[in-house]
């Protein structure tokens, strides 16, 4: 990964899509707790670790060594599992179970075999994918990004573990977790690096079924100009919120709000459970 390790990339102070997403998906109090001065080391949720496993197998360097340590058990409420977790963390690795690795490998093969998603993965350029990029945007703000998949013909995609890869359901998760903001930020980085916008920008959404024998569902979702424009607007809203809090020194929670939410430019979502802890690291 260029001259940066993954840990060094995440410690870099330039604006990442993760920090900006957090400014529009939660409270500013929560944002400050995670990204403010003196914030404790971030510990990814179990869902995030699962998604990271699949990412590691599908993108350069196409392996889990150096990031994860696999054990028969990582149950922290058992003596063996707790010892395994402690051993991995002492070595700077994320503990995962062998069962999780096997499921991630199964998902990798399913995505590669899919006629639509597989075509994108086959076109992945290893020299451009999972490579950190740093730049200043038009406002002079230092930015960074780490694109999952950049193809040899200039397409840009992000891998997303999701509860449902059904497009209409994934859309609402994407709105709740500000994936449109993230993809707009990634597209800006791509344009700065390559001198032109991505030919196509989208998300590879995949499910992690609880049943290891269940089929793997996935979808390829393309962001159009309207999606990216909305993402840019939300990105500026994130910067505005952060700047206001930095200037005032106050990091509020939900504060004064209307009792009944008012829909702005899209109707209320279908009922689906959203895990806000699954907001990804990149």
Q: Per residue in 18-63, pLDDT tens?
A: 999 999 999 999 999 999 988 888 888 999 999 999 999 999 999 9
- Which domains, and CATH codes, for the chain? 6-64+99-278 (3.90.320.10)
Q: Per residue in 56-100, pLDDT tens?
A: 999 999 999 999 999 999 999 999 999 999 999 999 999 999 999
What is the spatial distance between Cα 135 and Cα 189, in angstroms, rounded to a whole number? 7
DSSP letter string over 214-257? SPPPEEEEEE-HHHHHHHHHHHHHHHHHHHHHHHHT----S-S-
Give residue 281's pLDDT band: very low, low, confident or very high (50, 70, 90): very low
Handedness of CA 200, 196, 235, 266 (dihedral sign): negative
Q: Per residue in 161-193, pLDDT tens?
A: 999 999 999 999 999 999 999 999 999 999 999
Buried b / exposed e along 56-90 (16+ C-beta atoms within 10 A): bbbbbeeebeebbbbbebbeeeeeebeebbeebee
Average pLDDT for residues 236-255, to the nearest whole number?
Answer: 96
| Listed residue (241, 151, 268) closest to 202, CA to CA | 151
What is the spatial distance between Cα 202 and Cα 163, in angstroms, rounded to a whole number? 18
| Listed residue (57, 276, 39) closest to 179, CA to CA | 276
Residue 111 has pLDDT above 70, yes or no: yes
What is the spatial distance between Cα 178 and Cα 278, in angstroms, rounded to a whole number? 12
Residue 271 has pLDDT above 60, yes or no: no
Residue 272 has pLDDT above 60, yes or no: no
């Amino acid at each position: 990964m260029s001259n940066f390790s993954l840990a060094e990339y995440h410690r870099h102070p330039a604006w990442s899509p993760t920090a900006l997403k957090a400014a529009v998906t939660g409270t500013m109090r929560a944002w400050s707790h995670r990204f403010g001065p003196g914030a404790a080391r971030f510990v990814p949720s179990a869902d995030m670790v699962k998604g990271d496993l699949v990412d590691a197998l599908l993108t350069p360097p196409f392996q889990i060594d150096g990031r994860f340590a696999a054990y028969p058990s990582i149950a922290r409420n058992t003596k063996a599992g707790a010892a395994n977790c402690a051993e991995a963390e002492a070595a700077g690795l994320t503990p995962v179970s062998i069962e999780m690795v096997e499921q991630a490998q199964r998902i990798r093969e399913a995505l590669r075999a899919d006629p639509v998603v597989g075509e994108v993965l086959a076109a992945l350029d290893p020299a451009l994918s999972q490579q950190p990029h740093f730049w200043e945007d038009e406002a002079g703000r230092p930015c960074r990004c780490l694109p999952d998949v950049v193809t040899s013909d200039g397409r840009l995609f992000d891998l997303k573990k999701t509860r449902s890869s059904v497009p209409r359901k994934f859309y609402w998760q994407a709105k709740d977790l500000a994936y449109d903001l993230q993809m707009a930020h990634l597209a800006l980085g791509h344009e700065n690096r390559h001198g032109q916008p991505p030919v196509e920008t989208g998300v590879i959404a995949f499910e992690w079924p609880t049943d290891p024998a269940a089929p793997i569902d996935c979808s390829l979702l393309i962001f159009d100009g309207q999606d990216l424009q909305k993402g840019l607007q939300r990105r500026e809203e994130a910067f505005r919120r952060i700047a206001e809090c930095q200037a005032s020194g106050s990091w509020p929670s939900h504060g004064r709000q209307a009792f009944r939410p008012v829909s702005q430019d899209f109707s209320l979502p279908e009922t689906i459970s959203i895990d806000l802890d699954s907001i990804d690291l990149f």
